[in-house]
Amino acid sequence: MTIHTLEGKIPLVMNVLITSASIPVVMDIAIELSSIHKLILTDTKDVSSSIKFIRSAIGHDSDTNDLVKGMDVIIHSGLVNNSDNESSQLDYHMRCTYNLLWAAWEEKVPRVVYLSSLTQMDKYEENLAVTERWRPLPRTDTQSLCYHLGEYVCREFAREDKLEIVCLRLGDIVNNGVNHESSSSVYIDDVVTAIDKALSYDASGWDIFHIQSDVPNARYLTGQPWQGGDELPVNLGYTPRPRTKA
């Protein structure tokens, strides 16, 4: 099996597909990234945007292959669409994720960035130094399960070297008055910085990174390079923008 890496051929402007464009925060991320990269947005529902949009059911058919063909990276969000019922949400985040990754593998898309959440780790006590090496502790609410099961699907594609997958577990996103700052917050500009780094850093095949902002009493450690055995360290190169007041 071949990994189609970006190594040595990283284009300055990348062709990027972003899923779940109907979710406001995903659109906000897309708008920021559109100033850097050539984007295509997709969703199972119609979305009005100045960025190119292709509606897709992300089914098991050639339409999904056509959707991903020619992409350098796919950014796949684990956020649930609250207008769907729980069965549809679970179906999308398991089956459609599988379909999307399968098509990406067939069309030789080099990399997938999966947007998960640090809520997967928030059952640990706050005084613990929780990092990417710790076991996720999902809850049974649909959003938590969808993040977890989306990661599960991604991990198996990476395990078989079908795709290079970067999993970003994002803190509680603060943007345009959505969510107040907490010890788990990540501001939208830091999210965009982390995603932009994830598009082109030297990935190992299956990497997880915890992403949060420089907020007082920040709960999660972030920006640490990881090294296993005699391998070279894996480093996203993400550093949150300084915000903490002295």
Applying CB under 8 A, the residues found at the interface with other proteins are 59-60, 86-87, 90-91, 94-95, 98-99, 101-102, 137-140, 145, 148-149, 152-153, 156-157, 159-160, 162
SS3 43: strand
Closer residue to other proteins (CB): 66 or 160:
160
- Rounded CA-CA distance 189/187 in Å is 6
CB of 32 to other proteins, least distance (A): 32
Closer residue to other proteins (CB): 35 or 140:
140
Closer residue to other proteins (CB): 119 or 212:
119
CB of 105 to other proteins, least distance (A): 8
Beta bridge partners of 16: 39, 73
What lies within 8 Å, CB to CB, of 218 at 6+ separation is 183, 212
CB of 200 to other proteins, least distance (A): 25
CB of 145 to other proteins, least distance (A): 7
CB of 244 to other proteins, least distance (A): 34
How far is residue 209 from each of residues 21, 72, 197, measured CA to CA in Å? 23, 20, 11
Nearest partner of 185 among 209, 216, 147, 208, judged by Cα: 216
Q: What is the distance, to the nearest Å, from the Cα of residue 89 to the centroid of all Cα atoms in its chain? A: 17
